[in-house]
Amino acid sequence: MELPGDVVDLANLVSSMTYRRIEEIVSGKPRELYEASMHLVRAGGKRLRPLALVLASKMYGLSPEISSWAAAAVEILHNFTLIHDDIIDRDEYRRGVPTVHKVWGEGLAIVAGDLLFAKSYEALLRLLDYGLNYEKVLSAIRELTWAATTVAEGQAMDIMFESRETVTVDEYIEMVRKKTAALFKSSVVIGAIIAGAPDEDIAKLADFAFNIGIAFQIRDDELGLVADEKVLGKPKYSDIREGKKTILVIYALERASEEQRKVIMSALGNTKASREELEKAARVLIELGALDYSNKLAEDFIRRGIEALDSTHPRDLRSRETLKQLAYYVTRRSY
């Protein structure tokens, strides 16, 4: 699945605008701290949340010149969560570069994340310089705060799931709603709020982004199983090695024979598992039909999300169309 040419152009524009905003906000002393905070931002990433936010704003007539400050806020928040996630999961690579704690040590990495958290609010406060009224900025701050709280709850669930014997699909969906989908939802909602979208449309856009966010995470789980390391920017099978209860693992464990279960469990959360053991476990997941199941599940969330998006009444229909293409793109990435 590829993005059409004009969408790619917009994506690149938003990405570079957002980056410039972040560079302006995240600068100061001591140098080492700010370098650590900018490390993953510089390494790139797809900047999907900024693009979704800018598109939601454009739907109701607000230009990227202004909305890119809010886009910077959500991207900064996202990068903060990545730095702390990598410490928690002991990940050594992300976006093809060593993680922040591998380069600067754990202490400075924790603080670099904390700094970004604060800076995400600073980015939102910049909106006041562009004539946005107090009420809109406060609503955006409330939404960002909700996202940060919810992501923390989801992250805690994810951590606790690793040491649990069984996790149900419903529990997984709840975790993903919080850990991944919440920030997609808030990105789109903040974009709509600052552009002055009507409340009914904000609710529909929230519904859209929540569903697409869940589908995105399901796809991410799949990619961890089947994508190349080059695409992933980190070692293959790290989810299995870290004991992540991905949708694939949850589905497979519910259906595994005694023997299949043994193969999965010997690799799951085993930091010393060999490449062969990991591959064997991955094969069992696929044999049990986990990918077919997750595919159908993701498609269901995508369908619901698109329905919600289609029911909005934006000023700019073309931006809605582009947002739809983006939704398909992030949830149907090839592997």
Binding site for a second copy (CB under 8 A): 28-30, 32-33, 81, 84, 87-88, 105-108, 110-115, 117-119, 121-122, 125, 128, 134-135, 137-138, 141-142, 145, 148-149, 152-153, 155-157, 159-160
Give the nearer residue to a second copy in terms of CB position, either 1 or 156. 156
CA distance 279 to 327: 31
Give the nearer residue to a second copy in terms of CB position, either 145 or 266. 145
DSSP H/E element including 111: helix 106-125
Q: Is the peptide bond before 30 cis (omega within 30 degrees of 0)?
A: yes
Considering the complex, what minimum distance in angstroms separates the CB of residue 30 from a second copy? 5
Give the nearer residue to a second copy in terms of CB position, either 51 or 193. 193
Give the nearer residue to a second copy in terms of CB position, either 40 or 215. 40
Q: Residue 67's closest CA among 206, 189, 160, 207?
A: 189
Considering the complex, what minimum distance in angstroms separates the CB of residue 245 from a second copy? 14
Give the nearer residue to a second copy in terms of CB position, either 134 or 165. 134
Tokens of 290: 């986990």
Give the C-alpha distances (Å, rounded to integers) separating 61 from 55, 64, 136, 175, 313: 10, 10, 15, 34, 12
Give the nearer residue to a second copy in terms of CB position, either 29 or 230. 29
Considering the complex, what minimum distance in angstroms separates the CB of residue 292 from a second copy? 31
First to last CA, the chain: 10
Considering the complex, what minimum distance in angstroms separates the CB of residue 157 from a second copy? 6
Considering the complex, what minimum distance in angstroms separates the CB of residue 117 from a second copy? 5
Beta strands 97-98 and 93-94: pairing type? antiparallel
Tokens of 282: 């991955």
Q: Is 144 left (phi over 0), alpha (psi -120 to 50) or beta?
A: alpha
Considering the complex, what minimum distance in angstroms separates the CB of residue 252 from a second copy? 24
